[in-house]
């Protein structure tokens, strides 16, 4: 009888999670108790990117770990992808009645956290940004203009038409520079290949279109930024971050030596130490 009860409870949990995912452009797993922390992964990554972080963080906090639509096993949604995710996160926080949630975001997830914190009436109490900028597009393109980032571009059409072999070669190349840990490069490559192709193309357009450099002046909550120094070195990293965050009135920034984009993989002890300090900031 006890076993039957466990099966029923598990079935109810799985069913409710499935139904929830149908109504929201993401899936969420929750672990731990305490003040809620929303953990947003980077582009194409699943919530598993935070596994080691959650193992420690969940001892004192309630971790809400997101995987966004079109990534991992989460079904894709129609465009506009990123605005729909932003709106749904605010609804999620309201529905779950989360009190003073902290946002921890990596890359795309960090940019999303900045966007959420810009709203004048928001419930978020603290923001921790890992390897993320207010404008990814401005970093990548000279003479960047947000309005030029459109879905129906020649580059996007080329990406959508790319055959699987060519796409995998591109994924291998991209993953190779994101971490210094060889075994993690394979995981990053696999996540890229798992991503829904239209989400990969149009979702990245949404990210490039997002330019928050002026609007971050509205952010009033504490912000901690964790930035990597690889591959361009400390001075270039400082120049980039200080330039893009010049309109943010107050923030703390720490630079991870000998770490590439996935700091949590390359310098795990340093990362957890800085995260602990940021949570107390």
219-230 pLDDT per residue, tens: 999 999 999 999
Residue 22 has pLDDT above 90, yes or no: no
Q: How confident is the model at residue 271 (pLDDT cuts 50, 70, 90)?
A: very high
Higher pLDDT, 14 or 261: 261
Residue 204 has pLDDT above 50, yes or no: yes
Residue 10 has pLDDT above 50, yes or no: no
pLDDT at 220: 96
Residues 6+ apart with CB under 8 A from 163: none
Domains of the chain, each with CATH number or no CATH: 2-279 (3.40.50.1820)
63-86 pLDDT per residue, tens: 999 999 999 999 999 999 999 999
Q: How confident is the model at residue 7 (pLDDT cuts 50, 70, 90)?
A: very low
Mean model confidence pLDDT for the chain: 92
Q: How confident is the model at residue 120 (pLDDT cuts 50, 70, 90)?
A: confident
pLDDT at 38: 98
With a threshold of 0.75, does the pTM exceed it? yes
Q: What is the mean pLDDT of residues 224-243?
A: 97
156-201 pLDDT per residue, tens: 999 999 999 999 999 999 999 999 999 999 999 999 999 999 999 9
């Amino acid at each position: 009888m006890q076993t039957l009860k466990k099966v029923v409870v598990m079935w109810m949990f799985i069913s409710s999670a499935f139904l929830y995912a149908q109504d929201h452009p993401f899936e969420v797993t929750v672990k731990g108790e305490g003040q809620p922390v929303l953990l947003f992964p980077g582009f194409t990554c699943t919530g598993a990117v935070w596994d080691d972080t959650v193992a420690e963080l969940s001892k004192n906090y309630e971790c809400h770990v997101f995987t966004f639509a079109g990534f991992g096993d989460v079904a894709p949604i129609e465009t506009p992808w990123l605005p729909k995710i932003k709106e749904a996160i605010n609804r999620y926080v309201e529905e779950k009645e989360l009190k003073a949630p902290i946002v921890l975001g990596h890359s795309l997830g960090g940019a999303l956290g900045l966007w959420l914190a810009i709203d004048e009436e928001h419930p978020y109490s603290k923001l921790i940004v890992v390897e993320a900028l207010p404008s990814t597009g401005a970093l990548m393109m000279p003479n960047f203009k947000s309005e030029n980032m459109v879905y129906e571009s020649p580059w996007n059409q080329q990406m959508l038409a790319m055959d699987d072999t060519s796409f995998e070669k591109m994924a291998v190349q991209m993953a190779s520079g994101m971490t210094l840990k060889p075994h993690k490069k394979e995981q990053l490559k696999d996540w890229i290949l798992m991503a829904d192709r239209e989400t990969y193309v149009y979702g990245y357009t949404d990210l490039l279109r997002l330019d928050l450099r002026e609007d971050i002046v509205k952010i009033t909550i504490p912000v901690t930024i964790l930035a990597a120094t690889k591959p361009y070195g400390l001075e270039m990293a400082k120049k980039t971050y200080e330039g893009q965050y010049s309109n943010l009135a107050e923030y703390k920034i720490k630079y991870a030596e000998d770490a590439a984009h996935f700091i949590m993989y390359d310098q795990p002890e340093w990362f957890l130490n800085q995260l602990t300090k940021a949570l107390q900031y």
